[in-house]
Amino acid sequence: MNVYQNRDDLVFSYLRLKSPRFIRWSILVITLVVLDLFGFFPLLNNAGSLIVMLTLFSIVGILNFWALQLFLDPYEYESGYYLYLAVFGVITTILFVLVDEQVVSHYVSGNERTYLLMVNGLLLLILTGCFHLLNRNLLYGEEYDQDKNTSANRKITMVSGVLAVLYILGHVGLLIMGDAPIRHFIVLTLLTLFTVVTTYLTTFFHRYRFLRKHVSVLEKRDAYFGLPKHLRIPEYEGDAFTVIIFNDIDMDEERFIELAGSFTEEGAEEVQLIEMDEEVRRQLEKRFPHQSIQQEGFAVIKVNRERVLKNLRELKKRTMLKSLYRNIPHQVYEETKHEAMFHLSDAVFYSTKEEEVKAFLANGGGQVRT
């Protein structure tokens, strides 16, 4: 029986998003241990084609560079993690098959070796197909397919398990019959286990596509997905305010720093200096029809979190999940957030006196939760 209350719950359950902290450390482990240590380094002893080795070296180098980006900034590259796992699964599975062939060649040769490689390859191919079919049913099937307890999905899961066990036991049996040293036994057993896992990781192509297809659901649950850490809006106790200073744009810098400091001490999140023009005056007169709007003055803006999130969502919607690499400069993020935090339609207080602004902030300003 489907335990999810609505369609969004069902969709979100299949996204299985990981925290940036998990992304950072899992990337480190799987790249250095699984890819480099078990997948690539053993091939360095292979006296095969130089072109093949250079190709593998280039591909592994690119994956390591990609992993470094994810490790350094798992917040902004959050979506790229799921695509990385899919590509990682494909490349690492190929590397493991090559390493596996090297180890097996010590115990089997001639036609037997060819037949064994064909059987192993067929098992791995069928196993991969089962993994992808199961994920396709769960992610893109009809409502009855997406229930994890359907008969078809149970059968596919069972077949996948049997194939994985056969693949692993086949290699273990080969080493036992070949009286292999314990070192080869451990290495090949780990390789076959890792191969099953990396084969499953290739299904993350479906997860990545599913993520792109359901961005709207993702935004409802995690509005900050894919944003740099320093731009994720903090939580507040009470309301949050910003202050706009209306004055000559060439105001003395020391005076601006003094004003900004006094306002932030009373709870203002940010302070901005702008020049009064006719459009600004018109908006202020509309917000405060019973006050005389002067050339010099102060406006307190109550931060509309929904407006800030909406602006950031619109920015992400145009660029999110379309590239592996950063394609939105931090300055653009800052400008988008800044614009929403100083929106004059959200002004709640106007005065020409600094003391009145400080008193207003002291009585109702929000404080960042520590």
In this structure, what token pair is assigned to residue 171? 């290699």
Give me the torsion for CA of 195, 197, 199, 201, rounded to 10°. Answer: -140
Alpha carbon distances (Å) from 281 to 69, 270, 284, 287, 350:
46, 21, 5, 10, 12
Residue 102 near residue 53 (C-beta atoms within 8 A): no
Domain that holds residue 63: 7-221
What pLDDT is attached to residue 149?
A: 55
CB 155 within 8 A of CB 164: no
pLDDT, position 65: 92
- Residues 155 and 247 both lie in one domain: no
Question: Do residue 78 and residue 29 come from a single domain?
Answer: yes
322 CB-contact burial (10 Å; exposed 0-12 / middle 13-18 / buried 19+): exposed
Please check whether residue 308 is in contact with residue 341, taking contact to mean a CB–CB distance below 8 angstroms. Answer: yes
Q: Do 234 and 215 fall into the same domain?
A: no
Residue 159 and residue 82 share a domain: yes
In a domain, residue 159? The reply is yes
Burial 139-175 (b: 16+ CB within 10 A, else e): bebeeeebbeebeebeebeebbeebbeebbeebeebb
C-alpha 224 chain-centroid distance: 10
For 338, the 3-state DSSP assignment is helix
Calculate the CA 206 to chain-centre distance: 15
Q: Mark whether 197 and 236 lie in a shared domain.
A: no
Q: Which two tokens stand for residue 246?
A: 């209306």
Note the pTM of the prediction, 2 decimals: 0.64
The one-letter code for the residue type at 15 is L
* pLDDT tens profile 247-299: 766 777 788 888 888 888 888 878 888 888 888 888 888 888 888 888 888 98
**Tokens matching residue 268:** 């203002």
* Number of structural domains the chain divides into: 2
What pLDDT sits at residue 220? 67
Sign, CA dihedral 303-307-313-319, equals negative
Claim to verify: residue 72 and residue 212 sit in the same structural domain:
yes
Structural domain includes residue 2 = no
Computed over every residue of the chain, the mean pLDDT equals 77
Is residue 217 located within the same domain as residue 350? no
Query: Does 316 share its domain with 252?
Result: yes
Q: From CA 64, how far away is CA 68, in angstroms rounded? A: 6
Please list the ranges in the chain whose pLDDT falls under 50.
Answer: 1-5, 144-145, 235-237, 320-327, 366-370
Locate tokens 């900004």: which residue? 260
Condensed to tens digits (0 to 9), the pLDDT of residues 131-185 reads: 888 887 667 655 544 555 567 778 888 888 888 888 888 777 777 776 767 777 7
* Same domain membership, residue 198 and residue 307: no
Question: At 116, which helix (H) or strand (E)?
Answer: helix 110-140
Are 261 and 157 in the same domain?
A: no
Alpha helices in 296-353 (DSSP H): 305-319, 330-341
How far does Cα 306 stand from its chain's mean position?
22
Residue 242, in any domain of the structure: yes
Q: 53-80 burial, b if ≥16 CB within 10 A, otherwise e? A: eeebeebbeebeebbebbbebbbbbbbb
Q: Give the whole-angstrom CA distance, residue 300 versus residue 241.
A: 7
Q: Which of 221, 240, 274 is the last residue of a domain?
A: 221
Last residue of a domain, one of 167, 202, 221: 221
Alpha helices in 202-243 (DSSP H): 204-213, 215-221
Domain membership flag for residue 1: no
166 and 274, same domain (yes or no): no
